[in-house]
Amino acid sequence: MSISASSLPTAPSVAAREHAPGLFVRGLGAPLRLSDYRLVAFDMDSTLINIECIDEIAAAAGRRDEVAAITEAAMRGEITDFKDSLRRRVALLAGVPESALEAVYTERLRLNPGVEAFVQACQAAGLKTLLVSGGFTYFSERVRQRLGLDFARANTLGVYNGRLTGTVQDRPWGDIVDGAEKRRVLLEVCELMGIDSRQAIAVGDGANDLPMMGAAGLSIAYHAKPAVRGQAMISIEDGGMDRALEVFGA
């Protein structure tokens, strides 16, 4: 029998305990059931997939180290304005041929271990699936199709004459998916589904995932930065994403 939204776990305020080697939980009591939730939202880069796409694109421009340093600082929360950090990184990509994106996808991008098993378990339990990323639609749409996800939102790179312009395109909802937009999208999808946000799960690894993780009823950190591990209700620090299933009962 499903539990009500009011009885789902709320944001934790207690210390984490080791549920199993490399798997930590915080603020959870009785075994959870996936079927008690209705939506799961995923970050993409370094969460669903093994790379930060912008860093790999930057390698084609000979600027990988420069861009990666900004990426790391943003994910650790040292750069608090994600939109500014993304614009700075994207500007360094100006002139990169669009073909470099395809090379990144085919040669570098892989799903992280356990992702397919965890997504399939969520789908089998009846959850809708959402990808919401500060990365780029070139990759997010392919990942969405590959995993059979229901919804996706990400940023769109500007392209002219087959080369990146170093800009992010405006969209009807705005220009850049940052932490606030991730939270807003999660809440918007919950409203469209007619569910309480406590019936949502959010999975991420970086500081810009914390707003949506805080809005969800259950937050899962996957090989995350310390600031994220320190707040998540489930933290996977060793093994694949499917290790989250160890916390769920039948």
> For the chain, which residues make up each domain, given as ranges?
5-50+111-247, 53-107
Q: What tokens were used for 113?
A: 């271990």
pTM of the entire predicted model: 0.90
Mean pLDDT, consecutive 10-residue stretches, the chain (250 aa), reads 43 76 88 92 98 91 88 80 89 93 96 98 98 96 98 96 94 87 97 97 95 97 94 97 90
- Point out the catalytic residue in the list 43, 55, 178, 205: 43
Nearest CA among 41, 61, 65, 37 for reference residue 182: 41
- Point out the catalytic residue in the list 45, 55, 178, 205: 45
- pLDDT confidence of residue 245: 96
Cβ-contact 44, 135 below 8 angstroms: yes
- pLDDT confidence of residue 73: 84
> Does the annotation mark 170 as catalytic?
no
- pLDDT confidence of residue 25: 95
Name beta bridge partners: 117: none
> Does the annotation mark 65 as catalytic?
no
Domain 53-107 listed as CATH 3.50.30.40: no
At 52-89, the pLDDT tens digits run 999 999 988 888 898 888 888 877 878 778 888 899 99
How much is the CA Rg of the chain, to the nearest whole Å?
Answer: 18
**Domain 5-50+111-247 CATH class label:** alpha beta
- pLDDT confidence of residue 140: 97
- pLDDT confidence of residue 10: 47
